[in-house]
Amino acid sequence: MRFYNPTHRQLKNKGEKVIEYALALSGLITVLTTIGIIWVLVSESWGFFAEIPISQFLFDTQWTPLFSDKHYGILPLLSGTFLTTLIALATAVPFGIIIAVYLSEYAHRDFRKAMKPALEVLAAVPTVVYGFFALTVVTPFLQTFIPDLSTFNALSAGLVMGIMIIPVISSLSEDALYAVPKSLREASYGMGATKFQTSFKVVVPAASSGILVSVILGIARAVGETMVVAIAAGQQPNLTMDPREAVETITAYIVQVSLGDVQHDSMEYRTIFAAGITLFVFTFILNNISFWIKKKYQEKYE
């Protein structure tokens, strides 16, 4: 009779396998997270849509789940999200692209080296701090020349969110501009073009896919941003495009409900998941458009 007598090598191989499976398990957690997010959002909003017809959710112009006269129209929250995002983009896109072009094409190497980490600081500041800034500094400042600006308003929240997003756009755009081959620029200079003409007529178009990706990621960031709008934009669902008024975004609504004492299995509880799945769908689409563009144009110049 022979006993199974594992050799040192076999034991080692076994240990190797155990480690590999343990590591794979950690990788699996990321997949489970995605499944978990989708499952949670779908299962809870399933209960919501069992009671509220989807036509009311999409077309009713009032969102008042916390009042006695309940309406469940997502439009006021969507318009709030859209308005603040639009203002943020109107700030961040021009600034972000000009900064990217300046740092990549014009600035001295040392200036560029000093400014990049400084801009990164803008992205490192916690968002609740930006909310404080919007409410206590920007709104009073804007009120000095826009007298009928309300204390909570879309304008101030959007502007501050824009400043917050500048580094997202400038940093990614700059990488894209930097990757444009030198020969293109030299050809343009050879034709007698100035640096400005070369930058905006040759380099920027050549890097347009990368710049577009940065803008899309900026949009996704603005749509999902919570604390700035919860603090400075207000908490009243308001179907308006007037930036001077208080608006409520999808994210701010979720925060507003979470701050109260909400019973599980109540309709209020389900509304935040219905709002959440709307938000998730938007950011999911935006993210995947950016991946698609990145993949399609990635190796154009290599």
Partner 1 sequence: MNKIKANRLKDSAFRYVGIFCTLFGIVILLIFIGNILFQGLSRIDWDFLTNLPSRRASKAGILTAWTGTAWILGLTALIGIPIGVSAGIYLQEYGKKNRLASIVELNIANLAGVPSIIYGLLGLEIFARVMQLGGSLLAGALTLSLLILPIIIVATREALKAVPRSLREASFGMGATKWQTIWYQVLPAAAGGILTGIILALSRAVGETAPLIVIGALAYVPFVASSPMDEFTVLPIQIFNWVSRPQEEFLVNGAAAIIILLLITFVMNGIAVYLRNRWQKKVSW
- Please report, as residue ranges, which positions from 18 to 57 form the binding site for partner 1 (by CB under 8 A): 19-20, 22-27, 29-31, 33-34, 36-37, 40-41, 44
Which CB, 86 or 280, lies closer to partner 1? 280
Name 87's Cβ contacts closer than 8 Å, sequence gap at least 6. Answer: 154, 155, 157, 158, 159, 161, 162, 243
Q: Determine if 169 is a binding residue for partner 1 (CB under 8 A).
A: no
Q: Nearest distance from residue 62's CB to partner 1, in Å?
A: 23
Integer-rounded Cα radius of gyration of the chain:
25
Binding to partner 1 in span 89-148, by CB under 8 A? 94-95, 98-99, 101-103, 106-107, 115, 117-122, 124-129, 131-133, 135-137
How many residues sit in the footprint of partner 1 (CB under 8 A)? 84
Choose among 229, 222, 235, 231: nearest CA to 65.
235
Closest residue by Cα to residue 40 from 220, 260, 270: 270
d(CA 250, CA 230): 10
Rule CB under 8 A: is residue 266 a binding residue for partner 1?
no
Our CB check for partner 1 shows the closer of 238 and 271 to be 271
Per-residue x/- marks for partner 1, 208-227, CB under 8 A?
A: ---------x--x--xxxxx
> Which of 52, 177, 215, 230 is the binder for partner 1 (CB under 8 A)?
230
Give yes or no for residue 293 binding partner 1 (CB under 8 A).
no
Please identify, using beta-carbon distances, which residue of 74 and 254 lies nearer to partner 1: 254
Instruction: For 139, list phi and psi in degrees, rounded to 5.
Output: -60, -50
- By the rule CB under 8 A, 1 interacts with partner 1: no
Using CB under 8 A as the binding rule, whether residue 260 contacts partner 1 is answered as no
Quick one: 35 exposed, middle or buried, by C-beta within 10 A (0-12, 13-18, 19+)? exposed
Taking CB under 8 A as the rule, does residue 259 contact partner 1? yes
- Least Å distance between CB 88 and partner 1? 13
Q: Is the dihedral of CA 165, 243, 232, 38 positive or negative?
A: negative
Inter-residue contact 237 to 248 (CB < 8 Å): yes
CA distance 109 to 106: 9
